[in-house]
Amino acid sequence: MVSVNGPGPNSDVAMEAIRETAEGAVSLVAVYGATAFDLFHVGEAVRKSFGSRDELVAQLGTLAEETRREFMERGLFSGMSPVKNSVEFRFEKSEDYGILQVYCGGRGMLLFVDTDEPVEPLVRTASKLLGGM
C-alpha cells in the first residue's frame, strides 16, 4: 500500500529497527507527514486505553498536527539552517507510557515507550528511518 505521505520508511524495516533499539516495550509507532499519518504498530495496552480506533486515530492526528506545527514554527522563527536536515524531539511522560516525538525532514515519528526508556538511541534510529542523520 502506498502511503499518502509519499515515500517513507517501510513498516517492517521501521518496526525491526525500533524493536532492536528499544530496551523495553514499544506500545505504538506512527509515522506522519504533511497531511496524514501511518500507524505501524498499536500495542494492546494502547488499544485498551482508547475507547475505539476512531478515538485513537483522532487523538494521534491531533498530537501529530500539534507537533508538526510546533517544530515547523520553531524552525522558521529560530533561523535554523538548514531546517530540512535538523532533528527535533520531545519526550513526555504520561501515566502509562513515555511519548517520544521525533521530527526530521518534514516527517515525524511518534512512539509510545516505557517511561524509563533511554531516549537518545530511539531518536537516532527514528531520524535515520525518517531520512535524517
Among 27, 59, 20, 31, which Cα is nearest to 43's? 27
Question: Is residue 114 in a domain?
Answer: yes
Domain of residue 16, residue span: 11-129
pLDDT for the residue numbered 3: 45
pLDDT for the residue numbered 4: 42
Q: How many CB atoms lie under 10 A from the CB of residue 93?
A: 11
Which residues, 6 or more positions from 104, have their beta carbon under 8 angstroms from its beta carbon?
A: 85, 86, 87, 88, 126, 127, 130, 131, 132, 133
pLDDT for the residue numbered 82: 42
Question: Is residue 6 in a domain?
Answer: no
Higher pLDDT among residues 27 and 60, named by residue? 27
Question: Is residue 35 in a domain?
Answer: yes
Query: Which CATH number goes with the domain that contains 47?
Result: 3.30.450.30
Q: Are 9 and 130 in contact (CB under 8 A)?
A: yes
Question: Is residue 63 in a domain?
Answer: yes
Among 42, 48, 49, which Cα is nearest to 27's? 42
Question: Is residue 41 in a domain?
Answer: yes
Question: Is residue 4 in a domain?
Answer: no
Q: pTM of the predicted model, to two decimals?
A: 0.80
Question: Is residue 1 in a domain?
Answer: no
Q: Which has the minimum average pLDDT: 29-38, 73-82, 110-119? A: 73-82
Among 28, 32, 25, 27, which Cα is nearest to 9's? 32
Is the pLDDT assigned to residue 52 strictly greater than 90? no
What is the number of structural domains in the chain? 1
